[in-house]
Amino acid sequence: MVSSEVSGFYKMTVDERLNFVKEFSRLSDDDIRILRTNGSLAIDKADKIIENVITTIEMPLGIAVNFLINGKDYLIPMAIEEPSVVAAASNAAKVARKSGGFNAYATEPVMIGEIQVLGIDSLYLAKMNILRDKSRILELANTRSKTLSSLGAGAKDIEVNVYERPHRMLIVHLIVDVRDAMGANVVNSMCEYVAPEIEKITGGRVNLRILSNLTKYRVAYASAVFSKDIIGKEAVDNIVEAYRMAVVDIYRASTNNKGIMNGIDAVLVATMNDWRAAEANAHSYAALEGYGPLAKYEKNSNGDLVGTIEIPIAVGTVGGTTGSIDKARIARKILGVSNATEFAGVLAAVGLAQNFSAVRALATEGIQRGHMELHARNLALSAGASPEEVDSVVNEMISSKEITMSNAIKILEKMRKTK
């Protein structure tokens, strides 16, 4: 029995790790051949990006079309495994385009760093002393980034939150303008650097010092009009009622917001931005005043549907892996955004488009029809259909109205016997 306890796994070469995994997991020679196949991301580069690398993994990268945002045309690169997302976003953008497209903007790229201070007797006096020395603390923080300081950005303000119960502590917020970066590294560096000074001022002990992924000051907005003449008056009313359900029902609100993130995450993955942080950010923001939908719908005086979205987005166009992985760099080039603020506005528009399409399908024909038809393609591939056989298998499954793996296998076997 091979143990998963390994000393120095990170020191092994990629080949040595593959051989270990092969033995542990009883992989076949064909499995190993597939794992040794890499695309544009060279294995030696991948081995430097994360730990214990054995291979790279591919994901479909599609392009959502029809997007007109603030009068500018965009192609939206989306990396995702879920069928219907790219098509849905493109369709929503086409509908919105008839009424002028999306309007979007984002607030300044401001992040929050948190410093937890414990062991303080006089919490309110400590708060006053920190605020008194705010200018000096900000000056210290800004020594950590000459680039941000030269741009007139960097640490801008300090907030102090006092907690007496259930646990006594101060939480100091360092407010930082990070410009075109996502900002995690510079904010963390600033928090760590000023922590000893915070201890001197308060007489307390600093424990955690790290950024928050909730960016309530870094928010993107987008809106669009979806004409009743295109989607129908009944659809307008049904979508508004579906939105109202999400307002009162957290179970629906959760699924509603997941649909938004289907679109946003796909763009973040394509450009190698931190989609996990985006998920935490969006759902935390949605819960600030009781969890609810991030996208809202109402009718205008003409009876058309008006969709709006308000969502926190911390995204970068510099730093991290956005420039070091070639396909992510090219995806960002396709997207054509010039800075992080523009990028955030585009993401908000994509999230609204994705949500509109999902809610429209739910409120009219139901989600399963289109979703399952696209799912049939995945089933055909999983059943072993070649690229030339896929369409025939899919069409047969749809005709039989039995979109299942067993049916895909049966159709494929019959088709090959006939040939």
82 is an active site residue? yes
Structure letter (DSSP) for residue 167: S
274 is an active site residue? yes
d(CA 189, CA 191) in angstroms, rounded, equals 6
Sheet with 295-299: list strands edge to edge. 103-106, 219-226, 305-312, 295-299
> Residue 327 in contact with residue 61, Cβ under 8 Å?
yes
Structure letter (DSSP) for residue 170: E
Type of residue at 153: A
> Residue 104 in contact with residue 70, Cβ under 8 Å?
yes
| Catalytic residue from among 114, 177, 180, 274 | 274
d(CA 224, CA 297) in angstroms, rounded, equals 10
258 is an active site residue? yes
Q: Which helix (H) or strand (E) holds 126?
A: helix 123-132
157 is an active site residue? no
- Show contacts of 230-235: CB within 8 Å, 24+ apart: 230/95, 230/98, 231/95, 231/305, 231/360, 232/364, 233/303, 234/364, 235/305, 235/360, 235/363, 235/364
Can you read off the two tokens belonging to residue 242?
Answer: 């579906």
Distance of CA 411 to the CA centre of its chain: 38
| Catalytic residue from among 22, 258, 283, 410 | 258
| Catalytic residue from among 31, 47, 82, 108 | 82
Catalytically annotated residues: 82, 258, 274, 371
